[in-house]
């Protein structure tokens, strides 16, 4: 196998490892709401770190075997690999908008990185430049972190802000790594210890922020943001401070700007797709309250009157005709239902009330009224 083919193979495997690590990180973030930044007790998080470390090692080996113009664009395949891997491994399918955004971000990033050329001589950052770059980058990361924490009501926006901060931290770690590598080409010295400390600080911050960005933001949007911001920032610092340029002169610069616009459009599409997905359940609104009961349905029973306070009138059996017996059955059954606390209709409740205070029940025009016992109907004080 030629060195060129080996570099392509290693780049593809590196992108697969990065995609697998991102999927595991997103799953850990979803299931670990109490430890959004540092889920040390989750074995899956350590597995994600191992996959990301494997991807980084393979990427470095691919750079040693092949040209930078080929290896760097292939690293953008992480976004494209992550979507089908997530659908296959965890059953999370991406919509058409997410696919379009991922493809746009990948194509734009690959085109941009393929146009970035290296300088003829290796350059390094001066100590004053390193201090300024470290302070400016730290302030930018802190500002994005505060903005992300303030946007807690919008998980998609919060996720993109934290992913941007993570990409900036990782990109600046790459810049300092290159600077230290150039210094070590002339010999190892203790003067590089501050740069090594900055590399460690930005690397740890990038890991923590990337883990937090997957909480509530899905997979595609934070992964695409991190994958684009990291190399773009490193390339910008290389062009502005390390003497690197775009290939093909002015034409290459214009093409690079166009590729940057395409990549930014893909990121915006992924973010808006996530926002629409969050707003879709909210548009349905809460469940409306139950309608009040219709007229004629069982009503709330009226408060029961103690039988000792209002005695029921007793009529002589000879005075009350036998035709009144059927009409007394309904109040008796309704009174028994009220005693057990069961609901009755309003008509039955009124019949029970009439029976308790001694009023005659509603009868036909031919039925005689009962004769009441005045002495028993008298209410005792």
At 323-374, the pLDDT tens digits run 444 444 555 676 676 666 666 677 777 777 777 666 555 554 544 545 545 5
Sequence-ordered strand ranges (E) for the chain: 116-117, 245-246
| N-terminal to C-terminal alpha carbon distance within the chain | 113
Contact between 248 and 258 under an 8 Å Cβ cutoff? The reply is no
- If phi over 0 gives left and psi between -120 and 50 gives alpha, with beta otherwise, what is residue 310? beta
Most confident of 64-73, 78-87, 238-247, 281-290: 78-87
381: tokens are 């004080």
Mean pLDDT of 211-221: 83
Contact between 41 and 35 under an 8 Å Cβ cutoff? The reply is yes
Residue labelled with tokens 């039955």: 348
Beta-ladder partners of 299: 344
Model confidence pLDDT, tens digit, residues 133-182? 999 999 999 999 999 989 888 888 898 999 999 999 988 888 888 788 77
Q: Using only the alpha carbons of the chain, give its radius of gyration.
A: 40
Q: Picking from 166-170, 210-214, 300-304, 357-361, which range would have the lowest pLDDT averaged per residue? A: 300-304
Mean pLDDT of 1-22: 86
Instruction: Please give the model's pTM, rounded to 2 decimal places.
Output: 0.64
Spell 88-119 as b/e; 16+ CB within 10 A means b: eeeebebeebbbbbbbbbbbbbbbbbbbbbee
Residue (of 227, 226, 169) closest to 198 by Cα position: 169
The pLDDT assigned to 377 comes to 47
Question: Distance between CA 22 and CA 19 in Å, rounded?
Answer: 5
Question: Distance between CA 335 and CA 333 in Å, rounded?
Answer: 5
254: tokens are 């214009």
Neighbours of 277 (CB within 10 A): 14
143: tokens are 């500002």
Strands 245-246 and 116-117: antiparallel
* pLDDT over 50 (residue 295): no
Question: Distance between CA 138 and CA 146 in Å, rounded?
Answer: 12
Question: 368 φ, ψ to 5°?
Answer: -75, 155
Please enumerate in sequence order all residues whose Cβ is within 8 A of that of 213, keeping only pairs 6 or more positions apart, or say none. 148, 159, 160, 162, 163, 166, 222, 225, 226
């Amino acid at each position: 196998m030629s060195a060129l083919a080996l570099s392509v193979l290693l780049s593809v495997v590196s992108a697969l490892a990065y995609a697998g690590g991102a999927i595991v990180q997103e799953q850990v973030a979803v299931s670990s709401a109490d430890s959004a930044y540092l889920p040390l007790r989750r074995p899956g998080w350590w597995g994600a770190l191992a996959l990301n470390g494997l991807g980084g090692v393979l990427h470095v080996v691919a750079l040693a075997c092949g040209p930078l113009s080929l290896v760097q664009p292939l690293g953008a395949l992480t976004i494209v690999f992550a979507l089908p891997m997530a659908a296959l491994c965890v059953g999370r399918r991406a919509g058409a908008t997410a696919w379009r955004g991922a493809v746009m971000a990948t194509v734009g990033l690959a085109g941009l990185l393929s146009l970035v050329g290296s300088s003829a001589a290796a350059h390094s950052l001066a100590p004053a430049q390193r201090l300024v770059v470290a302070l400016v980058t730290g302030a930018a990361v802190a500002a994005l972190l505060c903005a992300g924490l303030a946007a807690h009501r919008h998980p998609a926006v919060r996720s993109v802000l934290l992913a941007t901060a993570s990409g900036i931290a990782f990109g600046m770690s790459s810049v300092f790594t290159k600077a230290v590598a150039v210094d070590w080409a002339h010999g190892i010295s203790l003067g590089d210890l501050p740069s090594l400390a900055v590399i460690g600080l930005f690397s740890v911050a990038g890991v923590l922020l990337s883990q937090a960005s997957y909480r509530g933001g899905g997979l595609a949007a934070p992964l695409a943001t991190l994958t684009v911001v990291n190399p773009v920032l490193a390339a910008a610092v290389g062009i502005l401070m390390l003497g690197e340029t775009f290939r093909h002169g002015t034409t290459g610069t214009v093409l690079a700007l166009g590729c940057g616009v395409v990549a930014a459009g893909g990121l915006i599409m992924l973010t808006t797709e996530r926002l629409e997905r969050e707003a879709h359940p909210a548009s349905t609104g809460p469940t409306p309250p139950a309608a009040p009961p219709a007229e004629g349905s069982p009503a709330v029973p009226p408060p029961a009157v103690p039988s000792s306070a209002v005695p029921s009138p007793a009529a002589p059996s000879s005075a009350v005709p036998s035709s009144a017996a059927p009409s007394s059955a309904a109040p008796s059954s309704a009174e028994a239902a009220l005693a057990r606390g069961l609901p009755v209709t309003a008509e039955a409740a009124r019949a029970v009330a009439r029976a308790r205070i001694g009023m005659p029940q509603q009868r036909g025009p031919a039925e005689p009224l009962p004769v009441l016992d005045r002495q028993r109907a008298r209410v005792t004080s």
